[in-house]
Structure 1
Amino acid sequence: MMFDGNTALDIEREANTALTYIEQWGAKNKLRFAPHKTCAMVMTRKLKYDNPRLKMGSVDIALSKQVKILGLHIDSKLTFNEHVGKQTAKALDIFKQVSRAAKINWGLHPEVVRQIYVAAVEPIILYAASAWAPAADKIGVQKLLNSVQRGFAQKLCKSYRTVSLHSALTLAGILPLDLRIQEAAALYETKRGSPLPELGDRETESKVGFAETPHPALHMDIIFERLEDQSLVDRHNVQEVRIFTDGSKIEGKVGAALSVWKGESEVRNQKFSLSAYCTVYQAELLAICRATGGILKGRERSYGLYSDSMAALETVANHSSLHPLAVESRENLRKALTQGKDVSLYWIKAHAGLQGNERADELAKEAALALKRKPDYDKCPVSFAKRSIRNQTLKKKKKNKKPLKFNPEHIFGEQSRKKKKKKKKKKKKKKKNLT
């Protein structure tokens, strides 16, 4: 719970009222709270202030300088120094174990060390990065992060301990942790709905909330069959209407289309335009979604829906997938079933000479290249957001990049040392000869 006020008395009054209500609610529902395990923290910019006296029942609630919530250590000044210190200590423990088995001339392969770093160390450091990302700009925090990253970077490029951080990072091909933290925070905000500068006011594609999906009792089994040649397609040609869908991305443009067939002839088709940053996967899902929407408006009783995208069909068939187009497609199929319509889904092999699929592919390419109207679907995929944020990170890295001072002793230490020894021996021999 959070309370604010101009004075400690205002906070004390509000907090104690809420705590009394919680205690009474717990008593009614046969729940007992432990006030002696509860912590409170005062957050203010004032240098002098009074601490509020908080009580639950007759037990005082202790005030502390920091609290831990879901693994995030929050201090009263929001410096997050304690959190960064503990996370870096965990990462250093992993490094100590890795350093025992990864030496310059023997031990773990650098790619194994990279996998440990990416899969174990970075997630530990980046945990809850969106909450404390501004703290990564402080010099003290950067020193803690550098102490972790330098060791792993040296192990990745198999260099000596004298190699500098910037040289090791460049040779290892990894990004500085402070930039990775800012990147993780930016991606989190983008997923929450904050627009990217490159997209203007266009929103990022986000998953549908679980509460907005139909109740699990209303779920229907969605199964699709695989048809790999024309003979199998002809054998399953028993529906009144067949709909072929396809998506295409060509010359940096994206389009989708559907072709409606009755018997052996096409009766109508539709083309859809998508924004240039959209993916073929989105185009395939959009075509399936619009096809299922058209089935609801049709008068026929049986339909066959054909797509050459296995990924799109599996997404639609998987009820745990919360992609907005997949959720809408499943809802359309459920409504079609309540209308007494029979809809069969089929996967067909792409570019195998199947008449309906080739026609849908042709229409999708025309939609991508020829349509000059406002996009029918312009939600930005998360993959594009990740790519844009990574490009911004690389630009920041170039601005902050220091010139790499290459010293062969750091990387090829043994060879350079041997050369020095040989030179010393030659000098000694020359001196002896002169004497």
Structure 2
Amino acid sequence: MNNTPITFSEHFKLLGIIMDQNLTFVQHSEYAIKKAQNIFKRLCIFIKPTWGIQSENVKIIYRQVIEPIVTYAAEIWHTATNLIKVRDALLSLQRGFAIKIIHGFRTLPTIGSIALAGLTPLPLRIKEIASSEHTKRTKVTKYLPEDILYDKRIPVEDLMHPAKRPEIKITEVFTQDDLDPFYTADMNRVFTDGSKHDEAVGAAVVIYHPDGSETSKKYKLHSSCTVFQAECLAIEQACQLCLSLGLEKSTVFSDSKSALNELMNRSSTNAIISNVQKIVANINEQGHQIHFSWIKAHQGLLGNEAADAAAKHAATLHKQPDFSKFPLSYHLKNLRKDTIATHEQIYLFNCENHRLDEPDPRRPLPEFSGEDPRRKGHKNNSHVVDFSAKPTQRLKLKTASQSRRPDKPGDVSGTKIGQQVRAVQVSYSWEKTIDIFKAK
């Protein structure tokens, strides 16, 4: 162009992602790590082993600043973590922050510092975030069949016009005296509830009509659903019944404040709540009235107890679920379990091999014996110290253990001393470190 040759670039930057010719994203990982390292260097000024910023604040900075920088657009470049040099660079960066979090010295090993800081190795964290973003985009999860879809949010452009969205107010019922005013000649009392027990989820609606008749409906949800989804579904079905039955005046009672608070949000993008607001708008257009009230649970109130019993029975029904959409929390919960399990496998592998790297799937994991792998190869036990003894006693024991050489031929005092030292050996407790991962 204008006698100027245009050369091809080996990589380019687009929306914060550096893309190379082979799409290895090595340059992007180096860019993200360098950006985080610059922050780390400035942070080191205020953090020393014996003084400085508190550990909790350092951990907040790491989680809220460093992790978002490194894991930005992880779904795009997470394949780079399959390369050993990228994993080593990420763990090297994380090791520095882990040592600052625990106020440790720079001689601490990577695996120990990350474990004591209670952090997830960055390569695993990147894959975890990439998996969650993939689920949001594809609406499916690897933990469920593909016909069970993600309960996604409604786009803002698909919501009702703000002028048509109903304004919903909530009253509160604590005792039977608060419930008595609703027993009028023209009031339909609608009680809703959701239940989840042993992976069984159900919802129910119980309507008490003014003429003394009763209507009860039960709904089974997929085992991946939450109690919040069950409560919202019960409210939705209750409003739908009020609309289809043509009830002129009704009050919907629910013991879920979270569901009712979401219902009061006129800009909610929850799919079920948005549909409830549309049904309420249709009821109002017909000239009918519908009100909502929070009722305190497990107080012996007749309608609430009946709805609770019906919801528990609905969860045990042997039929196809009436609602089969999993929440994002279900995917994240199972993903976290897999991450912790992988973390433990890597930990056990590296206790044996002294390397923080992913194990070879072709090689079985070693059996964990609880012994300190650093003892391997030592012959004179000079590295063994009784950590339960006082500092002065430790020095004596260590000095004695080093006096292995007899002073005279046939003198076995050094050997006896060595035997005494070995009798008070305390193996390093690696099991406590593993408990850290299990507690997360």
Distance in 2, matches of 1:309 and 1:231, equals: 20
Distance in 2, matches of 1:423 and 1:362, equals: 68
Distance in 1, matches of 2:227 and 2:331, equals: 16
Distance in 1, matches of 2:244 and 2:18, equals: 55
SS of equivalent residue, structure 1 residue 217? coil
Instruction: Identify the residue that residue 82 of structure 1 maps to in structure 2.
Output: 27
Is 1:388 paired with 2:337? no
For structure 1, the 5+ residue unaligned runs are: 1-52, 429-433
Instruction: Identify the residue that residue 236 of structure 2 maps to in structure 1.
Output: 289
**One of 224, 235, 242 as aligned partner of 2:189:** 242
Amino acid at match of 2:143: E
Instruction: Identify the residue that residue 295 of structure 2 maps to in structure 1.
Output: 348
Which aligned pairs between 1:409-420 and structure 2 lie closer than 5 A?
Answer: none
Distance in 2, matches of 1:427 and 1:311, equals: 65
Distance in 2, matches of 1:291 and 1:140, equals: 58
Instruction: Identify the residue that residue 178 of structure 2 maps to in structure 1.
Output: 232
Amino acid at match of 1:287: A
Is 1:73 paired with 2:23? no
Amino acid at match of 1:292: C
Instruction: Identify the residue that residue 218 of structure 2 maps to in structure 1.
Output: 271
Call closer, same or farther: CA 1:400–1:266 in 2, change over 3 Å: farther
TM-score by length of 1: 0.77
SS of equivalent residue, structure 2 residue 215? strand
**What's the offset of the Cα at 1:152?**
1.5
Which aligned pairs between 1:154-233 and structure 2 lie closer than 5 A?
Answer: 154-201=99-146, 202-233=148-179
Deviations 1:327-363 (A, max 9, x none): 1111111111112111111111111222111111111
Instruction: Identify the residue that residue 52 of structure 2 maps to in structure 1.
Output: 107
Distance in 1, matches of 2:138 and 2:394, equals: 60
SS of equivalent residue, structure 1 residue 303? strand
Distance in 1, matches of 2:224 and 2:398, equals: 63
Distance in 2, matches of 1:407 and 1:89, equals: 32
**Pairwise CA RMSD of aligned residues?**
3.3
Distance in 2, matches of 1:215 and 1:349, equals: 33
Deviations 1:364-412 (A, max 9, x none): 111123x111111111111110011112222322333334357799xx9
Call closer, same or farther: CA 1:264–1:347 in 2, change over 3 Å: farther
TM-score by length of 2: 0.76
Amino acid at match of 2:105: Y
Amino acid at match of 1:109: Q
Contact 2:263–2:273 (8 Å) recurs in 1: yes
Amino acid at match of 2:170: F
Instruction: Identify the residue that residue 361 of structure 1 maps to in structure 2.
Output: 308
Deviations 1:3-48 (A, max 9, x none): xxxxxxxxxxxxxxxxxxxxxxxxxxxxxxxxxxxxxxxxxxxxxx
SS of equivalent residue, structure 1 residue 198? coil
Instruction: Identify the residue that residue 43 of structure 1 maps to in structure 2.
Output: none
Instruction: Identify the residue that residue 400 of structure 1 maps to in structure 2.
Output: 346
**What's the offset of the Cα at 1:302?**
1.1
**What's the offset of the Cα at 1:167?**
2.0
Contact 2:204–2:219 (8 Å) recurs in 1: yes
SS of equivalent residue, structure 2 residue 325? coil
Amino acid at match of 1:200: P
**One of 236, 246, 249 as aligned partner of 1:299:** 246
Distance in 2, matches of 1:228 and 1:60, equals: 80
Is 1:138 paired with 2:83? yes
Contact 1:193–1:203 (8 Å) recurs in 2: no
Q: Identity of paired residues, percent?
A: 33
Amino acid at match of 2:325: K
Distance in 2, matches of 1:407 and 1:426, equals: 21
| 199-208 or 255-264: bigger deviation | 255-264
**What's the offset of the Cα at 1:261?**
0.7
Distance in 2, matches of 1:418 and 1:178, equals: 43
Instruction: Identify the residue that residue 364 of structure 2 maps to in structure 1.
Output: none
**What's the offset of the Cα at 1:110?**
2.4
Deviations 1:281-302 (A, max 9, x none): 1110010011111121122311
Number of residue pairs matched? 375
**One of 100, 120, 124 as aligned partner of 2:65:** 120
